[in-house]
Amino acid sequence: MKHQFLKVAAASPEMKVADPAFNAKKIVGIIEEQAEKGTELLVFPELCLSGYTCGDLFLQQTLLDGCLAALKTVAEATKGKKMLVFVGLPVAFEGKIYNCAAAVTGGKVSGVIPKTHLPNYGEFYEARYFAPAPEGSHVLCIGDEYAYFDRNFIVYDIHRPEFAVACEICEDLWTSESPSGQHCRHGATVIVNLSASNETIGKREYRKTLIAAQSGKNLCAYVYADAGVGESTSDMVFAGNNLIYENGVCLAESLPFSGETAEAEVDVGFLLHERRKLNTFCQNTKKDDWLDADFVGEDDLTLRRFPQLPFVPQGKELEKRCGLILSMQSSALARRLSHTHSKTAVIGVSGGLDSSLALLVTCRAFDLLGKDRGDIIALTMPGFGTSLKTKNNALSIMQAAGVTIRNVPIGGAVNRHFRDIEHDPENRDTVYENAQARYRTMVLMDVANETGGLVIGTGDMSELALGWCTYNGDHMSMYAVNSSVPKTLVKSLVAYEAKRLGGRMEVVLKSVLNTEISPELLPPDETGNIAQKTEDIVGPYELHDFYLWCFLRRGYSPAKTLYIAERTFAEKYDRETLKKWLVSFYKRFFAQQFKRNCVPDGVKVGSVSLSPRADLRMPSDASASLWVREAEKL
Residues of the chain with pLDDT under 50: none
Q: Which residue among the candidates 81, 115, 487, 579 is catalytic per the annotation?
A: 115
pLDDT at 242: 97
* Domains observed in the chain: 2-293 (3.60.110.10), 316-536 (3.40.50.620)
User: Residue 327 CB: number of other CB atoms within 10 A?
Assistant: 14
Cα 432 from Cα 435, distance rounded (Å): 6
Q: What is the pLDDT of residues 445-480, one digit of tens each?
A: 999 999 999 999 999 999 999 999 999 999 999 999
Query: Which H or E run includes 496?
Result: helix 487-501
User: Residue 575 CB: number of other CB atoms within 10 A?
Assistant: 13
Query: Which H or E run includes 38?
Result: none
Cα 539 from Cα 211, distance rounded (Å): 40
From the list 128, 100, 23, the residue with the least C-alpha distance to 66 is 23
DSSP bridge pairs for 105: 84, 108
Task: With beta carbons less than 8 A apart as the criterion, state whether 60 and 44 touch.
Answer: no
Cα 437 from Cα 457, distance rounded (Å): 13
Task: With beta carbons less than 8 A apart as the criterion, state whether 89 and 109 touch.
Answer: no
Task: With beta carbons less than 8 A apart as the criterion, state whether 417 and 384 touch.
Answer: no
Q: Which amino acid is at 499?
A: K
Numbers of helices and strands, H then E, in the chain: 20, 20
Q: Which residue among the candidates 40, 46, 171, 199 is catalytic per the annotation?
A: 46
Task: With beta carbons less than 8 A apart as the criterion, state whether 347 and 458 touch.
Answer: yes
502's CB contacts (< 8 A; 6+ apart) are none
Active site residue 170: yes
Task: With beta carbons less than 8 A apart as the criterion, state whether 299 and 265 touch.
Answer: no
Task: With beta carbons less than 8 A apart as the criterion, state whether 240 and 259 touch.
Answer: yes
Active site residue 167: no
pLDDT at 272: 96
Model's pTM, two decimal places?
Answer: 0.92
Active site residue 184: no
Rg, the chain, Cα only = 30
Q: For 193, phi and psi rounded to 5 degrees?
A: -130, 115
From the list 472, 477, 462, the residue with the least C-alpha distance to 546 is 462
pLDDT at 368: 97
- Strand pairing of 154-157 and 164-169? antiparallel
Q: Which residue among the candidates 54, 167, 170, 469 is catalytic per the annotation?
A: 170
pLDDT at 522: 77
